[in-house]
Every structure is written in C-alpha cells, then in structure tokens.
Structure 1
Amino acid sequence: MTQILDINTWSRKDHFHFFSQFDEPFFGVTINVDCTIAYATAKAKGISFFLHYLHKSLQAANQSPSFRYRIVEDQVWIFDQVDASTTVDRADGTFGFSHIDYHEDFSKFKINAEKEIETVRKSNSLFPEVSRSCEVHYSALPWIDFSSLSHARTFNIADSSPKITFGKMTESEGKRTMPVSIHVHHALMDGYHLGQYIECFQKLLNEA
C-alpha cells in the first residue's frame, strides 16, 4: 500500500520546497562500516557476503521511513516497502541492472536474488524487465577502496531514489572494513535521517 504524505503538515515542508528547486538536490557521504562480524557470519553460513550485506542494507532502508519516500509528480509518496536495483557483473566485463524484491526472511530474499542475478548474467540487456519507483539504487565496486564517489546523472529525469555503493573490503589487525557511499535526495531527508540509517545498518551488520 502506498500513502501520500501531506506536505502542508510535514515538519520538513519548507525543506522540501527549498531543496526541490535545486539542479542537484542529492547530497552524499562516504563512510567505512565494520563488517568483521558480517563477513564471518556469511562465511560460517556458506552464503554470499554480497547478498548478506545487501540484505542488511535493504533491511535498514525499510526500517528508515525517509528511505521509503519518493517524489512522484511533485507529491511525496510513502511506500510500504523498498526493493533493490543493483548492478550485476557479467563475464565479459560489462554489467546489467537488476530488480530484487526485498524479503525480511533472508532465505526467501536469497532465492529470489540468485535467480535474478542468473537471469541478468545470461542476458545482454542493460535494464531488467521489472523496474519500480520504490527501489534503492545499488552498485558494488569490490576492486576499489574508495574514499569518495560521484554518480553520473541526467538532471532532466525525475529521480529521488537513494543511491548506495559498496567498495572493497580490507582487513587490518583482524578488523574488516568496507567503504560505503550513500547519496540521498535532500528534499526528502537531512543528515540526521541519513545518520539514523547508517546507525541501523551498522547495528544489523554486527548481528551474528
């Protein structure tokens, strides 16, 4: 079910109208998350580390109301659930976009994700058959331990979906960390809300 937020009674009404006028309304941060426990947990269970932390990120997004807000025809829609649109690598060095439904149950998420990844890898198409407004746009750069990141964007296309990129995991003195870039629409959230998401994501990564 989708609801429309009453902007006139929203505490961020002025913020929404102000940042909605920007040519570039997205702002972003790059953080390093501690994935020591998450990596050990994935390996102990014999599951993909990527799918493990992707699920944790989506779980945090679904628990963060502002990450479920989207701007549709100048209105703010509140989605009950957000899914993932993530890049999938191919053997020839290219990639394709995917759509992976979120399931709170990891086993169901894993089955659906593995099926979608296989479909994209067998296809030559850049875009999936299914694409929705209620997505978080994900990328993975497991070759690069980046400290900042920017995105290619087309400003004349309406877009308010968060964009999250995961980098290369590194290890030092037994601790594993991974850079994560997060870009969000300032009309829909501020640094405070982004901080809440980051805190939630790290907490979920720390679950054994």
Structure 2
Amino acid sequence: MAHQPFDLTSWPRRWAFDFFKDYEQPCFNICGDLDIGRLPEVCREGGHSFFLVSLFAAVETVNQMAPFRLRLDGEGVRLYDRIHAGSAVLREDTSFDFCYFPFEPKLETFLQEMDQTLACFHRREPRYDFTGQDDVLFFSVIPWISFTSFSHASTRALRSDIPRITYGKFHQRDGRFWLPLSVEVHHALMDGYHVGMYFQTLSQKLQDLAVTLS
C-alpha cells in the first residue's frame, strides 16, 4: 500500500477540496455509453473472459489517472502508487460476494492470476483479503441491463472517497458495441472533467484491447 502525502498547497482545485470535503453527500455519479469497438466479439472468438479483460482496462485506467488514486487522510490527502480492484462476483446460487483482484500491469499475467482467484472464490477459499484497504476501487457488473442511470447503496461506514465503477449490459449500435458505464467519485478529490477523461481513456483502451487480442 505504498503512498505519499499529496501537496494541497499547490493544488489548483484546493478551493474545491475545502468546499466539498465536509458535504453530507459528497459524491457525484455520471453514467454514459462507451464505444468499445469489437471487444466482446474478440473475447468470445479468442476464449477470453470479457469480465476480466474489461476489469483490467478499468483498473489500468484508474492507475494512469492521479485523481482516482487520491484518498482522504484526516484533513489531508494521500496519493497511492497503485490501485487494485475489489469486485462483486456472482455465485452459482445467484448470491454474490466480494473478490479482491490485485492489479498486474501486464494483461496476460493479470488474466492468469485472476483465473486462479476466481477458481478459489467459487470453491469458497478466498485467495486475498482486502478488508480495511482503501487502495482499491469498488467494481461491479450488471450484465442484464443496459442502464442509463445508476445509484449505489451507501452507509456512513463505507469509504466515500473510493471510486465506484459499474458496467452494464453491452449492446450493438451502428455496427459497434457499446458498454454502459457508471462512475461515482468524491467531489472533494475530482470534478466532472476528470470523470470525462476517464470515460474517454477507458473507451480507447477497450478498443485497443480488441486489436491486441485479435
């Protein structure tokens, strides 16, 4: 969990941090469709898990964008070197639980490690425990619905400064695949601009992965 203090004094949006950090509900959520090219077809043809490939892209994009690696630390902020994923995973009995996916920067390594992690998960032998960690993003998939809006259950005990990223059911339009995406973040740590850049970067990354895996 390597991290460093974040310099608030030279932060151009320091005023926004001070303004939003004590809000009773400080998070905002943006939903939209991502152009993901042919990625679902490529994953199906190559025998790859679309869930794991798209999860890799979501976490890799987070790790390339400093605002998504910021966490509150009392009255200050810390910046993590690397963020991992805690994802909801469906069990065969339609219940779900949370699974920890440490990030690996190489796609092949990530997919191999996560295949083993999922196998342990389904045997109810958790491979990792991320309880109490905040160097994570909360990830989930609602693969039955191409949603246009989304909201999360919340509690005061749950860290509101951890980004929450949710995928919906991909669909085809104009000969391309589109993926509903919900991004919920803490407004003290970032703004709509940063979420917009996340959407753009992730869309391009998913399209590039379709070429890489072809």
Q: Same fold (TM over 0.5)?
A: yes
Q: Give the C-alpha shift of residue 116 in structure 1.
A: 1.9
State the partner residue of 2:196.
Answer: 195
State the partner residue of 1:102.
Answer: 103
Distance 1:92 1:111 in 2: 25
- The answer as to 2:4 corresponding to 1:3 is yes
- Identity percentage over the alignment? 30
State the partner residue of 2:152.
Answer: 151
How do 1:110-189 and structure 2 match up within 5 A?
Answer: 110-123=111-124, 129-131=129-131, 132-189=133-190
**Structure 1: gaps spanning 5 or more residues:** none
Q: Give the C-alpha shift of residue 16 in structure 1.
A: 0.6
State the partner residue of 1:45.
Answer: 46
Deviation readout 1:124-180 (Å, 9 max, x if unpaired): 98xx62332111100100011111000100125443110011111112343211211
**TM-score normalised by length of structure 1:** 0.92
| Segment drifting more, 116-125 vs 132-141 | 116-125
State the partner residue of 2:58.
Answer: 57
Distance 2:55 2:158 in 1: 26
Distance 1:96 1:156 in 2: 18
Matched to 1:26, the amino acid is C
Helix, strand or coil for the counterpart of 1:35? strand
Paired residues of 1:33 and 1:177 also in contact (CA < 8 A): yes
Q: Give the C-alpha shift of residue 41 in structure 1.
A: 2.9
- The answer as to 2:14 corresponding to 1:19 is no
RMSD (Å), alpha carbons:
1.7
Distance 2:120 2:97 in 1: 10
Matched to 2:154, the amino acid is R
Distance 2:157 2:50 in 1: 36
Paired residues of 1:38 and 1:52 also in contact (CA < 8 A): no
Would the alpha carbon gap of residues 156 and 98 (structure 1) be closer, same or farther in structure 2, given more than 3 Å must change? closer
- The answer as to 2:64 corresponding to 1:74 is no
Helix, strand or coil for the counterpart of 2:16? helix
Matched to 2:200, the amino acid is E
Distance 1:71 1:199 in 2: 26
| Segment drifting more, 148-157 vs 198-207 | 148-157
**Structure 2: gaps spanning 5 or more residues:** none
Distance 1:158 1:35 in 2: 30
Matched to 2:129, the amino acid is E
Distance 1:23 1:186 in 2: 12
Matched to 1:29, the amino acid is I
Paired residues of 1:81 and 1:134 also in contact (CA < 8 A): yes
Distance 2:88 2:157 in 1: 23
Q: How many residues end up aligned between the 2 structures?
A: 206
Would the alpha carbon gap of residues 101 and 5 (structure 1) be closer, same or farther in structure 2, given more than 3 Å must change? same
Matched to 1:130, the amino acid is F
**TM-score normalised by length of structure 2:** 0.90
Paired residues of 2:3 and 2:80 also in contact (CA < 8 A): yes
Q: Give the C-alpha shift of residue 4 in structure 1.
A: 0.5
Q: Give the C-alpha shift of residue 115 in structure 1.
A: 1.9
